[in-house]
């Protein structure tokens, strides 16, 4: 259900305060959950993303922005979000921002595994999906269910345990709501559903289980019983990214987990997740996360310590208040 302006204000205001607390630094702040990041800019800025963006959703909570995607200009604000349907390069401009009222936004990559799972489930439950014109990028009025799902998502991304157990469930809800909404124009290709979706779903599961091995398009196509060209085409249509892009992102996400949970050097992490060399790993990591593996790990650890300190402070305040009430 789309939000009217009055109904939108309370939900957006709540979500804005949550993002402001998690995005204290200027620029990009990554959450513990892979693919979820926040942006804060205190002045207008123009930039081009170094990486090709994956399917995702950008929710602006304060300020305004334009994005040139594939030669088309899209404008969005707190009453409209941007849905990215496939890999693309973004030339963005934050047009409304100030130190008193900074630009605040959420960017969530839509996991290919969740997209494909939803396509397959909908096809099974509803039969053949109705033909849907596909636009790679789409600006849509904000939706109540999607925004409320983000309100539930953010607290589940503050700890590693919740990231692994609760966050994926809410992300799947967001995916389902988007595919069933007007945003499906950007992410649903009805022609790609059917047997190909089921095969790609199994291939994604195979990649997730064997990401550290020497995988190739030819080998993955053989495993899916498809020709390499048909496999690569179907994978991109259904998942929104190429199979090698998906494999790379799975390896990088696993590298994040290893770096946060152990004192391994980048070269050791690179070897464990399947990269050919530490240099290749570092290059791909910087392309996706915009900083080196070492710096990225440091930032997340600092953020985790800050959250832990805040939690201790909140507990102490609660205990003092409880003691005063008892007295």
pLDDT (mean) for 17-38: 92
Cα distances (angstroms) measured from residue 97 to each of 39, 61, 160, 260: 12, 11, 32, 33
| 192: in domain | no
Tokens 């124009």, located at residue: 185
- Say if residue 194's pLDDT is above 70: no
**Does residue 250 fall inside a structural domain?**
no
Domain presence at residue 47: yes
298 belongs to a structural domain: no
- Find the angle CA(40)-CA(107)-CA(109) to the nearest 5 degrees: 155
- Helix-strand-coil split of the chain, %, nearest 5: 55, 20, 25
Three-state secondary-structure class, residue 73: strand
- CB hemisphere CA count around 37 (13 angstroms): 18
SS3 call for 297: helix
d(C-alpha 252, C-alpha 269), whole Å: 10
Domain that holds residue 67: 5-110+123-187
pLDDT tier at 52 (50, 70, 90 boundaries)?
A: confident
Ranking 38-42, 142-146, 273-277 by mean pLDDT, the lowest is 142-146
What the block records as the tokens of 308 is 């832990």
**By C-alpha distance, which of 276, 236, 301, 91 is closest to 284?**
276
Mean pLDDT of 17-21: 94
Q: What is the CATH classification number for the domain harbouring 156?
A: 2.60.120.10
Over residues 274-308, the pLDDT tens digits come to: 999 999 999 999 988 888 888 887 777 666 655 54
pLDDT of residue 315: 38
Residue 320 lies in a domain: no
Identify whether 292 is part of a domain: no
* Cα–Cα dist 323/327, whole Å: 6
pLDDT value of residue 198:
86
To the question of pTM greater than 0.85 for the whole model, the response is no
Count of domains observed in the chain: 1
In a domain, 83, yes or no: yes
Q: 232-258 burial string, b = 16+ CB within 10 Å, else e?
A: bebbbbbbbbbbebbbbbbbbbbbbbb
Q: Which two tokens stand for residue 116?
A: 């494909």
Q: Is residue 35 part of a domain?
A: yes
**pLDDT of the residue at 326:** 41
């Amino acid at each position: 259900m789309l939000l009217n302006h009055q109904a939108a204000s309370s939900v957006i205001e709540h979500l804005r305060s949550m993002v402001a607390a998690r995005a204290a630094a200027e620029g990009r702040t990554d959450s513990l959950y892979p693919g979820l990041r926040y942006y804060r800019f205190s002045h207008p800025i123009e930039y081009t993303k170094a990486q090709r963006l994956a399917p995702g959703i950008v929710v602006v909570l304060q300020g305004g922005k334009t994005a040139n995607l594939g030669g088309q200009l899209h404008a969005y604000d707190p009453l409209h979000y941007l849905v990215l349907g496939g890999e693309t390069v973004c030339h963005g401009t934050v047009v409304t921002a100030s130190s008193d009222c900074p630009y605040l936004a959420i960017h969530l990559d839509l996991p290919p595994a969740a997209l494909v799972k939803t396509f397959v489930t909908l096809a099974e439950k509803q039969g053949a999906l109705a033909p849907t014109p596909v636009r790679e990028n789409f600006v849509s009025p904000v939706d109540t269910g999607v925004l409320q799902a983000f309100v539930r998502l953010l607290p589940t991304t503050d700890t590693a345990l919740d990231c692994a157990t609760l966050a994926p469930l809410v992300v799947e809800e967001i995916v389902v709501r988007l595919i069933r909404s007007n945003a499906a124009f950007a992410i649903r290709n009805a022609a790609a559903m059917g047997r190909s979706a089921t095969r790609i779903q199994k291939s994604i599961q195979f990649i997730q289980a064997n990401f550290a091995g020497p995988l190739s398009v030819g080998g993955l196509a053989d495993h899916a019983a498809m020709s390499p060209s048909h496999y690569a085409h179907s994978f991109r249509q259904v998942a929104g990214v190429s199979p090698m892009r998906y494999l790379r992102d799975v390896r990088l996400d696993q590298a994040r987990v290893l770096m946060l949970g152990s004192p391994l050097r980048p070269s050791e992490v690179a070897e464990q997740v399947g990269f050919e060399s530490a240099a290749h790993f570092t290059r791909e990591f910087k392309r996706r996360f915009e900083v080196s593996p070492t710096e990225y790990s440091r930032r997340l650890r600092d953020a985790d310590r800050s959250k832990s300190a805040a939690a201790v402070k909140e507990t102490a305040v609660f205990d003092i208040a409880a003691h005063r009430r008892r007295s």
